[in-house]
Amino acid sequence: MKQEEIAKEKIKTKRNPIVVVLGHIDHGKTTLLDYIRKSNVALKETGGITQHVGAYEIEVPKKGDFSGGKITFIDTPGHEAFSSMRSRGAKIADMALLVVAADDGVKPQTEEALKVIQDEKIPFIVVLNKMDKDSADPERAKKELGDLGVIFEEWGGKVPVSKVSAKTGDGVEELLELIVLVSDLEDLSSDLFGLAKGVVIESHLDSKRGNAATLLIRDGMVEKGNWIRAGESQVKIKILEDFKGNSIEEAKASSPVRVVGFNLIPQVGSEFQVFDSLREMEGAFENLQKKSGAAGMESFNEGVQIVPVVIKADVAGSLEALLYELKKFEKPDLRLNVLRMEVGNISEDDIKLASSGSGALAVGFRVKYDKSVVDLAERFKVSLGTFDVIYELGDWVKKEIEKVLPAEKIRKILGRAKIIKIFKKEGSKLIVGGKVEDGAIYSSKRLTLLRRGFPLAEGRLIELRQGKTEVKEVAVGTEFGAMIDVNIDPAGGDEIEVYEEEIKKRLL
């Protein structure tokens, strides 16, 4: 049934919780997710997942009075999409699991993860892992979390705690039931037949089928024949698959789906929107451009330098550590766009994918590449490197990023003067009289015209005079005459701030 055949009124329906797993490296996030995947009947029936996906669904069976339910987990590198959305004031996950090793307690990344959760204002469950170890001390771990403001239910707060061993599986079943119960309290709902909206959580170039993306539906539904737009990427859906790679006709809220055939590889972390037709999609984006003056949904990236990165490693456990290391280099105006993060040697396909933007990097940890890969990297101007020591990899990435960073203009304020009188105007040039109030002012320097402390315009101080004598510099406390070039007429009492700029190579 096509959505246009459905009544316009919204029909709200319950949807599954979307859960992200956060915590310190080596505290067992990956092991926990692996256990959940392998122990789940629905996934066993597929014969095991051979290709990493960014999100997947599991079914929690009914038991006694417990009605069961489904859960959608965001897996690594789903955290990349999570952080991208966080920077834009939105959220992907409905709930978080904060994994803390009971034998190790709170660590730096634990605190960082907790801050993410608190900033997002989403409910969370503390998962005390590694309870099978003799050195496990859950009370110490809880106290350390309490010192960070976490108030557990047993202390009269709202944060539940679950004790598990991801290694043996003890407590995992109870954890899944707890997730369903907590989500029921959140009253999660979706527009049953509305056109889907959501987030791109992974994207890559499928060498046989074209540009592909894993999408997480936050609301509404999508079906074959719809159009999807994500930033500058768009596609009419002909290939729609569930998280197991099975072809499907439609998908609803909280479902992860794979769509193939985009004209461009979608940006990880970007929002997508579904339309019934090409005309509707084009009309929606024309309106958006008129309102915002932007060139599409990716306007939030304006002024941000994007460095495309492909990360390859020998084992899956190394990938998370590599991503954490590389993310240290991100700044408000610099973002690493991780296009692929997989186990295996660096291939020609990796180079082609990385070459989607300037300053691209293909970096490997304890992996190799062929001579043909080197030749292709040189041709496509992709920096290529592989290392056996993680800090050496980090140093190399830092230097490569610095090579493509634009130089910084460092502004040095030399002095400030008050305009007392305006004598003459010729075009944009004016003759003014004033007095230096701070520092010193110099001829042939750039200036900012200020009114009540606020900048009005940029200009240049062309000439300085004291009496009839032309001078190069006037010191604090001294009156002067000056010719300035500025495109806004100053008024008595305005100020000029004289400065010089130094071009400096930017370093991370």
The reported pLDDT for the residue numbered 303 is 61
- 409-504 has which fold? Elongation Factor Tu (Ef-tu); domain 3 (2.40.30)
Pairing of strands 495-504, 445-451: antiparallel
Can you tell me the distance from the alpha carbon of 316 to that of 47, in angstroms, rounded to the nearest whole number?
A: 20
The reported pLDDT for the residue numbered 175 is 97
The reported pLDDT for the residue numbered 30 is 80
Can you tell me the distance from the alpha carbon of 431 to that of 388, in angstroms, rounded to the nearest whole number?
A: 66
As given in the structure block, the two tokens for residue 438 are 């701070």
Can you tell me the distance from the alpha carbon of 37 to that of 470, in angstroms, rounded to the nearest whole number?
A: 80
Torsion, Cα 286 290 295 300, to 10 degrees, reads: -120
Q: What is the mean pLDDT of each run of 10 residues along the chain (508 residues)?
A: 51 88 84 79 37 71 84 64 40 88 93 86 95 96 96 95 95 95 88 88 78 90 95 92 93 94 81 92 68 36 76 76 84 84 88 86 93 94 92 92 84 94 87 95 95 91 94 96 92 94 81
Torsion, Cα 319 341 23 298, to 10 degrees, reads: 150
The number of C-alpha atoms within 13 Å of 74 and in the hemisphere containing its C-beta is 30
Fold equal for 17-187 and 305-404: yes
Fill in the amino acid letter for 334.
L
Can you tell me the distance from the alpha carbon of 397 to that of 406, in angstroms, rounded to the nearest whole number?
A: 16
**Which 8-state DSSP code applies to residue 2?**
-
160-174 in b/e form (b: 16+ CB < 10 A) is bbbbbbbeeeebbee
Can you tell me the distance from the alpha carbon of 217 to that of 424, in angstroms, rounded to the nearest whole number?
A: 65
Give the E-state strand segments of 142-255 in sequence order: 161-163, 189-191, 197-206, 210-219, 221-223, 227-230, 233-236, 239-242, 250-252
What residues contact residue 348 under an 8 Å CB cut-off, 6+ apart? 372, 373, 376
Can you tell me the distance from the alpha carbon of 465 to that of 458, in angstroms, rounded to the nearest whole number?
A: 21
CATH of the structural domain 17-187, one choice from 2.40.30.10, 3.40.50.970, 3.40.50.300, 3.10.129.10? 3.40.50.300
pTM: 0.58
- What are the domain boundaries of the chain? 17-187, 197-298, 305-404, 409-504
Going 96 to 85 to 193 to 215, the CA torsion angle's sign is negative
The reported pLDDT for the residue numbered 287 is 62
CATH numeric code, 197-298: 2.40.30.10
Can you tell me the distance from the alpha carbon of 149 to that of 163, in angstroms, rounded to the nearest whole number?
A: 20
* Omega prior to 77 cis, within 30 of 0: yes
At residue 324, φ and ψ (nearest 5 deg) are -60, -40
Give the DSSP per-residue string, 104-173: T---HHHHHHHHHHHHHT--EEEEEE-TTSTT--HHHHHHHHHHTT--BGGGTSSB-EEE--TTT-TTHH
Domain over 305-404 is classified CATH 3.40.50.10050: yes
As given in the structure block, the two tokens for residue 478 are 């001294």
The reported pLDDT for the residue numbered 79 is 43
CA distances from 179 to 1, 175, 448 (A): 33, 6, 58
